[in-house]
Structure 1
Amino acid sequence: MTVAEKIAADTGAVGLSPVLGAGAYNFAADVLKRNLDAGRAGKPAYIDGRGTWTYGQLADRVNRFGAALRGLGVRREERVLMAVLDTVDWPTAFLGCLKAGIIAVPVNTLLTEDDYRFMLADSRAKALVVSEALFPRFEKIIAESPDLEHVIVSGANPHGYRLFEDLIGADEPEDVTAATVADDMAFWLYTSGSTGKPKGAVHVHGSLKITADLYGTPVVGLKESDVVHSVAKLFFAYGLGNAMTFPLSVGATVVLNAERPTPDGVAALLKKHPITVFFAVPTFYASFLNSPGAPQKSEVKLRHCISAGEALPEGIARKWEERYGVSIYDGLGTTEMLHIFLSNRPGATKYGTTGKPVPGYEIKLLGEDGKPVKKGEMGEMYSRGPTSAVMYWNNREKSRSTFQGEWTRSGDKYIEDEDGYFICCGRADDMLKVSGIYVSPFEVEAALASHPDVLEAAVVGWQDEEKLVKPRAFVVLKQHDKASDALVVLLQEHVKQVLAPYKYPRWIEFRVDLPKTATGKIQRFMLRAEQQG
């Protein structure tokens, strides 16, 4: 069944406006109409730093933004770059673009001027929506972007351009939905690749609904009564599902945080709001557990906790469950597959694994010879499912390498155990070959993290004096003043007791923190580059 057939079967191909006919589908129009038809116009959809926004207000803002773009002359399939912090303006702009048939291109809000220069040029964006706090990183490059015609500033100071609130408050909009179909291009997500330029993964309208149908509702179990918070930001594929697609699909309420997440900041949100479903990444769970300001079990309302971004160490998961009485369901998703397709779930959780395939997706592991490996053997993961990106924009070579027919190459190394659970071994380009045997940096990191003094660790390949590769560990301690040569020896012996002795890190360096992406993934390539530097 194609994406279009799946949507048509689910929705009955109901026309969502006078211009839509049989088989037509527009995610923004669908999700807003469903909530209004269900009587949720007065129910809170979003809570941000400015206040509470109901589903009725959200629908009105979306219509107004789409109408404003049309009024500016932005046409169907032209691109709008979004560098917007997590406020109600984010879903307003994103859904407004989709409803108008315009392509939303949300980007990481922690990038550099050069990154944004590339993305504006690569996407040929006709309009830019930018948060006031981020405007300084765009000020110089706006004039250098020949395709850019309009700048819209979310905030109080327009910097000589249009203010978001003024734009959507100008006129009473006509409720118009572009005549899109499920397979119409809807939005791009630029990958946070560790090397080279970012790649724009092109996604379609139907994929948003399908991620909710296959994962958000049946696996996470989201309900209308839930209050949701995602540490991962909306620009990230993980956060997009967590804080928009899934909760809006069931009429839940989302608490947004425009600031960069910290344990203290998130603790305050958990104490202030009755958050029941919580999404984060492993490094954040670890930091939160070690924070003196973390709330007690009696101070939170957590029902489900989800982790993705990197594999969740078993020790962190068990400590979280001991403290809060709630399991963390670890999963794997990628920008290319849009959201989680491999996951633990209620009643079927095995700590130390990433779970089993989400129903509707298939997974295979291939060896270096391109053939499937046996259970218990390591292979590179390929996934097949209805939410795969169409391609990478302007990058045919990478598109052909990643999107191989119905299968999408993940670049992750995994082992399937006898029970059908998948165990992460790390990224294919992070794998180490020590004395001719593959070593997973993740398992060494997990072994180090199981020591009571260790907060987090990163392991990379490092050449010794004879140019042979051995594991080197960069370790962040819970108490930095405990760092010593004696602790290095203790940690090495600890790893030898947990793993095969040849896997222990030959060098251990203590750090105050580790380089990470905005989504919390450790940037091991930056640590490897230190030896070359």
Structure 2
Amino acid sequence: MSRPNGNAAHHFVDRHLEQGRGGKAAFLEGNRSLTYGELAERSDRMADLYARHGLGPEDRAAMILLDVIEFPIVFWGSLKAGVIPVPLNTLLSADHYRFILRDSRAKALFVSAPLLETLRPILDDLPCLQAIFVVGGDPEGFLDFAAELAEGTPRPAIEASPDETAFWLYSSGSTGTPKGVRHVHSSLQGTADSYAAEVLGIGEEDLVFSAAKLFFAYGLGNGMTFPLSVGATAALLPGRPTPQSVFELMSQIQPTIFCGVPTLYAAMVAQMQDDAPPGCGRLRLCISAGEALPKEVGESWRMRIGVDILDGVGSTEMLHIFLSNRPGDVVYGTSGLAVPGYELRLVDESGQEVGGDGIGEMLVKGDTAAEGYWNKRQKSRSTFEGHWTRTGDKYQRRADGRYVYCGRTDDMFKVSGIWVAPFEIEQALVSHPAVLEAAVVPALDENGLEKPKAFVVLKQAAADDIALQLKEHVKAAVGKWKYPRWIDVVDSLPKTATGKIQRFKLRACA
């Protein structure tokens, strides 16, 4: 008895031809576009391209690609060929790329031409790498992806089990060495059927713009999986998502769904006047993830744009958002409720359930959990506990069932014997009109005891007594004993490419 092909490329790409969407734009990028028909045909050529260069099922192909229309061609074409695509952060150093490319044993590399120079110093130190394809520019002695793809003969997608490894993502490495996270074919549809369908209510008529990049889990869902799940259109921004570049693209395309991260939303709010900027007229939903959204930022956005930001929580390990606010049911300062299809619980250091309003580590149960980490057996065992996945995030559950973010497990510390949630202090600091961003870490006082220390980025030059003002502001907002004893004004905070603050770097200099 035959079974349906579990290859995710059938559901997200080829199905749309059967349903008459071949001529519809799947992706927009600058003055270029890619229809569903073109995506299907070009991704069908990838298996022949791989075969000519010695790659087959289960081999890895690294993708260091900007958000351009070639990204979905390579990704879905790899799934069709059984080759495992490994999208990588486009902002890493050569040393980081060396580690990941050697760790994954990638045999092929697809790289955007502007990023090639960063890789040159390490290309002779990658023994498994057999072919380098350059996208969007002079191949400079390497393989020209466009020419190689044009030579290929289309081949249909191979048969695949829904439980078969489809692709890898590398964790952001905000607290250490990046980890290869292995995901199966069925997880892609799992995120679309849960968050995209049940929370966003995404439809074929939507035009989605994700400033969050395709190379990490949040952006991959927003900018590719979700729109392709319903035959919608996604707009891509190859460059860095600054407030100016984002507003410019929004003005051109008039999206209905916008996806960002808290850092970007804060910067965009800071640049707005009282009126909503051009390009926001068709917006029906905005979403945020990567880090918890400060209440002040969400309320300011709503006041200016007239559309809520749905703050949510996801992870590379779970592939997308599993905890979120909902349309028409937003409570800023909370992460909302479990997304349909997921279960949540809070546990203490001994693994016991946390009751009442206690703070505990969040565990999540859902079918989109990764298979595990590549080459990290002990870390896999400690993170993936049967059906449950440890998130590493500390949360508090309110009486109404909503969850309030308290910080990373490694970021929590005690003051006078009581747990302090850095994020609570950071939200209080950001609520001051002079502060754009803030991060809080523990530092030792003259008696060797831990107390809060804050690093703040100001919106503009402030009064000489700004530190005193901020201390008093925090005392009034969250309690006298939680105020930061020291405040350093800095130009910027260290972050990963996904917008997460790297507090371990701040702790090192506290």
Calculate the TM-score normalised by the size of structure 2: 0.98
Deviations 1:161-217 (A, max 9, x none): 11111111114x233211111000001111112233211010000000110001112
Whichever residue aligns with residue 363 of structure 1, its letter is L
Whichever residue aligns with residue 76 of structure 2, its letter is L
Question: Who is 1:258 aligned against?
Answer: 238
Question: Who is 2:155 aligned against?
Answer: 175
Whichever residue aligns with residue 104 of structure 2, its letter is S
Question: Who is 1:523 aligned against?
Answer: 502
The separation in 1 between residues aligned to 2:361 and 2:137, in whole angstroms, is 48
Residues 42 and 154, structure 2, Cα contact 8 Å, conserved in 1: no
Deviations 1:94-130 (A, max 9, x none): 1111111110111101001111111111111110111
Question: Who is 1:367 aligned against?
Answer: 348
Question: Who is 2:146 aligned against?
Answer: 165
Whichever residue aligns with residue 265 of structure 1, its letter is S
SS state of the match for residue 156, structure 1? coil
Question: Who is 2:493 aligned against?
Answer: 514
Whichever residue aligns with residue 176 of structure 2, its letter is G
Whichever residue aligns with residue 505 of structure 2, its letter is M
Q: Return the offset for 1:483.
A: 4.9
Question: Who is 1:6 aligned against?
Answer: none
1:230 aligns with 2:210: yes
Question: Who is 1:487 aligned against?
Answer: 466
Q: Return the offset for 1:52.
A: 1.5
Q: Return the offset for 1:292.
A: 4.8
The separation in 2 between residues aligned to 1:306 and 1:175, in whole angstroms, is 37
Whichever residue aligns with residue 227 of structure 2, its letter is P
Question: Who is 2:38 aligned against?
Answer: 57
Q: Identify the match of residue 86 of structure 2 among 89, 105, 111.
A: 105
Residues 267 and 295, structure 1, Cα contact 8 Å, conserved in 2: no
Question: Who is 1:496 aligned against?
Answer: 475
The separation in 2 between residues aligned to 1:175 and 1:302, in whole angstroms, is 39
Residues 226 and 253, structure 1, Cα contact 8 Å, conserved in 2: yes
Q: Return the offset for 1:295.
A: 7.3
1:79 aligns with 2:60: yes
Q: Identify the match of residue 286 of structure 1 among 266, 270, 284.
A: 266
Q: Return the offset for 1:274.
A: 1.5
The separation in 2 between residues aligned to 1:424 and 1:65, in whole angstroms, is 43
Q: Return the offset for 1:50.
A: 4.6
Q: Return the offset for 1:297.
A: 5.3
Whichever residue aligns with residue 400 of structure 2, its letter is D
The separation in 1 between residues aligned to 2:59 and 2:470, in whole angstroms, is 54
The separation in 2 between residues aligned to 1:220 and 1:436, in whole angstroms, is 42
The separation in 1 between residues aligned to 2:471 and 2:15, in whole angstroms, is 56
SS state of the match for residue 218, structure 1? helix
How is 1:416-495 mapped onto 2 (pairs within 5 angstroms)?
A: 416-479=397-460, 481-484=461-464, 486-495=465-474
Whichever residue aligns with residue 29 of structure 1, its letter is H
Residues 359 and 395, structure 2, Cα contact 8 Å, conserved in 1: yes
Identity among equivalent positions (%) equals: 51
How is 1:302-341 mapped onto 2 (pairs within 5 angstroms)?
A: 302-341=283-322
Deviations 1:63-85 (A, max 9, x none): 12232112222010000011000
Q: Return the offset for 1:58.
A: 1.2
Change (3 A) 1:483 1:152: farther
Residues 174 and 500, structure 2, Cα contact 8 Å, conserved in 1: no
Whichever residue aligns with residue 526 of structure 1, its letter is K
Question: Who is 1:400 aligned against?
Answer: 381
Whichever residue aligns with residue 67 of structure 2, its letter is D
How is 1:184-263 mapped onto 2 (pairs within 5 angstroms)?
A: 184-263=164-243
Residues 263 and 293, structure 1, Cα contact 8 Å, conserved in 2: no
The separation in 1 between residues aligned to 2:164 and 2:419, in whole angstroms, is 43
Residues 247 and 277, structure 2, Cα contact 8 Å, conserved in 1: no
Deviations 1:235-292 (A, max 9, x none): 0100000001000001111110111110000000111111110000111101001115
Structure 2 stretches of 5 or more lacking a match?
A: none
Residues 264 and 294, structure 1, Cα contact 8 Å, conserved in 2: no
The separation in 2 between residues aligned to 1:491 and 1:72, in whole angstroms, is 60
The separation in 1 between residues aligned to 2:30 and 2:123, in whole angstroms, is 28
Q: Identify the match of residue 253 of structure 2 among 260, 265, 273.
A: 273
1:117 aligns with 2:87: no
Calculate the TM-score normalised by the size of structure 1: 0.93
Whichever residue aligns with residue 346 of structure 1, its letter is P
SS state of the match for residue 495, structure 2? coil
Residues 348 and 361, structure 2, Cα contact 8 Å, conserved in 1: yes
The separation in 2 between residues aligned to 1:218 and 1:196, in whole angstroms, is 34
Q: How many residues align?
A: 509
Residues 174 and 496, structure 2, Cα contact 8 Å, conserved in 1: no
How is 1:26-41 mapped onto 2 (pairs within 5 angstroms)?
A: 26-41=7-22
Q: Return the offset for 1:423.
A: 0.4
The separation in 2 between residues aligned to 1:365 and 1:228, in whole angstroms, is 33
Residues 285 and 316, structure 1, Cα contact 8 Å, conserved in 2: yes
Whichever residue aligns with residue 114 of structure 1, its letter is D
Residues 373 and 379, structure 1, Cα contact 8 Å, conserved in 2: yes
Q: Return the offset for 1:299.
A: 4.1
Q: What is the root-mean-square deviation in Å for CA atoms of aligned residues? A: 1.4
SS state of the match for residue 26, structure 2? strand
Whichever residue aligns with residue 416 of structure 1, its letter is R
The separation in 1 between residues aligned to 2:354 and 2:175, in whole angstroms, is 28
SS state of the match for residue 123, structure 2? coil
Q: Return the offset for 1:294.
A: 9.6
Whichever residue aligns with residue 472 of structure 2, its letter is E
SS state of the match for residue 44, structure 2? helix
